[in-house]
């Protein structure tokens, strides 16, 4: 439901805390891998792309809707987690505000549209709950590839009537979105592109793998230099999305906080090294095998210090969940956020539940308390929402989490998965 410019969710989560999580949970495909990969399907000619392990998330519906606005045929089998995208014909290069404002990642269609159609017009993404999030690095990349950029009337227009040309590009900061947009644009540019200081996240590697399956020639994804040899044409293909390391990390923290014992199927330990290291430091037992990770914890966790960094550093998308864990851990710890400004919105909500946290600039000081108390809180953004659910799982009494449309953007079947592990959580209409 929309009220003016504010989107309100009519549902909330009710959690009764104090249940130990036990059992087995299966991790879905990665949100941050599938969104750029869906954008990249725009590059596929000749035949449709068939994507498997696509999580049933609001963000996936939104980007699929953006593609439909461009004239692309897309059908999503949410139960089967399969998305068919037929981009053989594209009849518009313009993405409207009503969809772009719902999800900044819509801007990921600019690179593929420029490459495929020689032009793109996208509504400016605007602000966001976790900082201003500029797109200057994306635009600098497109310009280096020979595009003209024009900003006005709330839109960004890019055009390259003669086609894009390979270039050497250095990113001032390893932006995930800028790396992805440049990878997609350069895949069909003439000649070679060398991208220095790119983001190295597993989701970048997944996108590069899919582009290579489509016929692109990309080398070095996941390292600090990516080389792309442009190809005149790419073809739609079948591809399976990697598991979501942030969803996995969230269940790992849930198991630790509830002093539970949970096997997290599909979690890839290689992608979760900093999360695993910090959980071990907090006193949690982690056993890794080829299919997943078992997390068990028999006593109250200890606080740790964390500092978010681009991959392979500690992920900013796990910061709020760790803060929830530290809020009930033994001792004092520091949480430093270096990737985003203003990503401490969950602090006030955790404090409402009795947490002792003080913010000083980009650092939060957490003094662990024995117990949190359930109350009404809200999901201020996606991961902040996850943190409130985690806090609710261990709080005394009932916690009500509102604004859960944020959580639905990024967690596939959260309630069902937590109930399967023994949590007392349900979704109700406000």
Residues near ligand UD1 (CB under 6 A) are 32, 35, 105, 131, 133-138, 173, 175-178, 199, 203, 316-317, 339-340
Token digits of residue 35: 């969104």
Least separation, in Å, of the C-beta of 314 and ligand UD1? Answer: 11
Cβ-based nearer residue to ligand UD1, 244 or 349: 244
**C-beta of residue 87 within 8 angstroms of C-beta of residue 49:** yes
Cβ-based nearer residue to ligand UD1, 15 or 208: 208
Using CA atoms, how far apart are residues 208 and 42, in angstroms rounded to an integer? Answer: 15
Residue 416 DSSP SS3:
helix
By DSSP bridging, strand 285-289 and strand 292-296 are antiparallel
Least separation, in Å, of the C-beta of 122 and ligand UD1? Answer: 14
Residue 227 DSSP SS3:
strand
Annotated catalytic residue 128: yes
Cβ-based nearer residue to ligand UD1, 241 or 284: 241
Least separation, in Å, of the C-beta of 331 and ligand UD1? Answer: 27
Across the beta sheet with 217-219, the strand order is: 168-170, 192-196, 225-229, 217-219
Cβ-based nearer residue to ligand UD1, 386 or 395: 386
**C-beta of residue 188 within 8 angstroms of C-beta of residue 43:** yes
Cβ-based nearer residue to ligand UD1, 122 or 421: 122
Indicate the residue whose CB is closest to ligand UD1: 177
Cβ-based nearer residue to ligand UD1, 157 or 201: 201
Cβ-based nearer residue to ligand UD1, 262 or 339: 339
Using CA atoms, how far apart are residues 116 and 93, in angstroms rounded to an integer? Answer: 10
Cβ-based nearer residue to ligand UD1, 72 or 110: 110
Residues in the chain: 430
Strands (E), 172-323: 192-196, 217-219, 225-229, 234-235, 238-240, 261-265, 285-289, 292-296, 306-307
**C-beta of residue 424 within 8 angstroms of C-beta of residue 399:** no
Query: How many other CB atoms sit within 10 Å of the CB of residue 291?
Result: 11
The one-character DSSP state at 260 is -
Output phi, psi for 78, to 5 deg.
-65, -35
Peptide bond into 150 cis (omega under 30): no
Q: Of the residues 93, 117, 128, 297, which is catalytic?
A: 128
Computed over its alpha carbons, how large is the radius of gyration of the chain? 21
Least separation, in Å, of the C-beta of 261 and ligand UD1? Answer: 29
Which of 391, 408, 413, 410 lies closest to 400 in space, CA to CA?
Answer: 391
Least separation, in Å, of the C-beta of 34 and ligand UD1? Answer: 9
Least separation, in Å, of the C-beta of 374 and ligand UD1? Answer: 28
Residue 278 DSSP SS3:
helix
Least separation, in Å, of the C-beta of 278 and ligand UD1? Answer: 16
Least separation, in Å, of the C-beta of 337 and ligand UD1? Answer: 10
> To 10 degrees, the CA torsion angle through 185, 187, 188, 189?
70
Using CA atoms, how far apart are residues 226 and 398, in angstroms rounded to an integer? Answer: 49
Catalytic residues: 128
């Amino acid at each position: 439901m929309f009220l003016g410019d504010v989107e309100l969710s009519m549902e909330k989560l009710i959690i009764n805390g104090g249940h130990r999580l036990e059992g087995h949970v299966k991790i879905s495909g990665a949100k941050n891998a599938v969104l750029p990969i869906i954008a990249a399907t725009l590059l596929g000619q000749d035949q449709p792309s068939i994507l498997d392990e696509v999580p049933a998330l609001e963000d996936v519906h939104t980007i699929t809707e953006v593609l439909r606005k461009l004239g692309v045929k897309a059908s999503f089998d949410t139960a089967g987690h399969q998305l068919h995208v037929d981009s053989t014909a594209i009849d518009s290069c313009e993405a409207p505000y009503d969809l772009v404002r719902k999800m900044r990642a819509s801007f990921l269609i600019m690179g593929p549209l420029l490459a495929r159609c020689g032009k793109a017009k996208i509504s400016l993404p605007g602000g966001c709950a976790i900082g201003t999030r500029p797109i200057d690095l994306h635009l600098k990349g497109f310009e280096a590839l020979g595009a003209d950029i024009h900003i006005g009337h709330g839109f960004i227009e890019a055009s390259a009537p003669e086609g894009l040309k390979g270039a050497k590009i250095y990113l001032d900061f390893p932006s995930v979105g800028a790396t992805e947009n440049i990878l997609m644009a350069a895949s069909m540019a003439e000649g070679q592109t060398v991208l220095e200081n790119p983001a190295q996240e597993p989701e970048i590697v997944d996108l590069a793998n899919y582009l290579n399956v489509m016929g692109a020639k990309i080398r070095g994804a996941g390292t600090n230099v990516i080389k792309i040899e442009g190809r005149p044409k790419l073809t739609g293909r079948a591809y399976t999305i990697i598991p979501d390391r942030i969803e996995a990390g969230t269940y790992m923290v849930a198991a630790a906080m509830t002093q539970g014992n949970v096997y997290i199927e599909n979690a890839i330990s290689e992608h979760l090294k900093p999360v695993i290291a910090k959980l071990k430091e907090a006193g949690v037992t982690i056993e890794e095998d080829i299919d997943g990770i078992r997390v068990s914890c028999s006593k109250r966790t200890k606080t740790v210090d964390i500092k978010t960094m681009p991959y392979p550093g500690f992920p900013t998308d796990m910061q709020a969940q760790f803060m929830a864990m530290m809020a009930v851990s033994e001792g004092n710890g520091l949480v430093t956020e270096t990737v985003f400004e203003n990503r401490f919105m969950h602090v006030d909500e955790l404090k409402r539940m009795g947490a002792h946290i003080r913010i000083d600039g980009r650092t939060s000081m957490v003094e662990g308390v024995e117990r949190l108390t359930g109350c009404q809180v809200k999901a201020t953004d996606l991961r902040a929402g996850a943190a409130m659910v985690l806090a609710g799982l261990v709080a005394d009494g009932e916690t009500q989490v509102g604004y859960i449309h944020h959580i639905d953007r990024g967690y596939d079947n959260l309630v069902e998965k937590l109930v399967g592990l023994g949590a007392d959580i349900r979704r109700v209409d406000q």
